[in-house]
Amino acid sequence: MDPSFIWGDLVPALNDGLLVTLLLILPSACLGLLLGILTGFSRIFGPGWLSRIAAAYATVFRGTPLLVQLFMLYFGLPGIGIYLTPYIAAVAGFSLCSGAYHSEYIRGGLLSIKQGQVLAAQSLGFSTWRSMIHIVIPQAMRRALPGCGNELIYLVKYSSLAYIITCIELTGEGKILASKTFRYTEVFLVVGLYYLTLVSLASIGLQKLESRLSVPGFGKHG
C-alpha cells in the first residue's frame, strides 16, 4: 500500500463519507426504535384494526429488500408528486425497515412476560396501566434489547446502500475514489476497516448497556 495515497487522498475522503454515514445512522436508529416500539405495542395491545395495520407494515418492510424500498422512496414517489432528497429518502427507508424488525423483537419481549405476573400485580391493587409500566415493560425491554442491538449493528452495515440513491456516504466516497484511481483493493480494504470499527464500537456499547440493565437470574428460567 502507498502511505501517501492512504493518508493524503483516501482517509480524508472517507472521513467526509463517515460523517454522512453517522448522520444517516443516528436519526435512523432513533426513529426506527421509536417506530418499532409503537408498532410492537400496537400489535399486542391495539384494537383489531390497528393491530392488523401494524402487522401488515411489519410484513411488508421485513418481506421486501431494503434496496427496493429505497428505490421506491427515491425514484417511485416522484411518480405521485412526492420528491425526497437522497438523504431524506435514505433516512426514511432505513427507519421504516429498521422499525419493522424492532417491532418483532419488542413484540416477542412483550409476549414472553407471563400473564400471571400481570394478574398478581392487579391482585395487589395495581391498575392495568401501572402493571404495564412497572411489571411488563421493564422486563420486555430487557428481553428485546439483544435483538434491537443486533438491528442497530445491521443498520450500520446496510447504511452502505445509501450511495445507490446518490446519498454519498462512506461506501459512496470509496467507490468514487476507487473509480478514479483503480485502487479498489486498497480503497475497499480501508472502507471495510471503517465499518468494522463502527460495528465494534456499537457492539461494545450494547454489551455495556446490557450489563448495566441486567438483573441476576432474569431470563434464565423464563
pLDDT exceeds 70 at position 218: no
Q: What is the pLDDT of residue 1?
A: 66
Within 64-183, residue ranges assigned H as helices are 66-71, 86-111, 115-123, 128-131, 137-158, 170-181
pLDDT exceeds 90 at position 87: yes
Nearest to 22 by CA among 195, 166, 185, 218: 195
Q: What are φ and ψ of residue 201, in 5° steps?
A: -65, -40
Q: Regarding predicted confidence, which is higher, 110 or 59?
A: 59
Q: What is the pLDDT of residue 216?
A: 65
pLDDT exceeds 60 at position 221: no
pLDDT band, very low/low/confident/very high, at 140 (cuts 50, 70, 90): confident
pLDDT exceeds 90 at position 74: yes
Neighbours of 59 (CB within 10 A): 11
Q: What is the pLDDT of residue 167?
A: 95
User: What average pLDDT does this structure show over 60-66?
Assistant: 95
- With cell 414517489, the residue in question is 77
Q: What is the pLDDT of residue 103?
A: 93
Q: Regarding predicted confidence, which is higher, 209 or 77?
A: 77
At position 104, the amino acid (one-letter code) is: E
Q: What is the pLDDT of residue 55?
A: 95
Q: What is the pLDDT of residue 222?
A: 43
User: pTM of the entire structure?
Assistant: 0.88
Q: What is the pLDDT of residue 219?
A: 54
Contacts of 221 (CB under 8 A, 6+ apart): none
- With cell 480503497, the residue in question is 187
Q: Which of 45-49, 54-58, 134-138, 146-150 has the highest mean pLDDT?
A: 54-58
Q: What is the pLDDT of residue 83?
A: 96
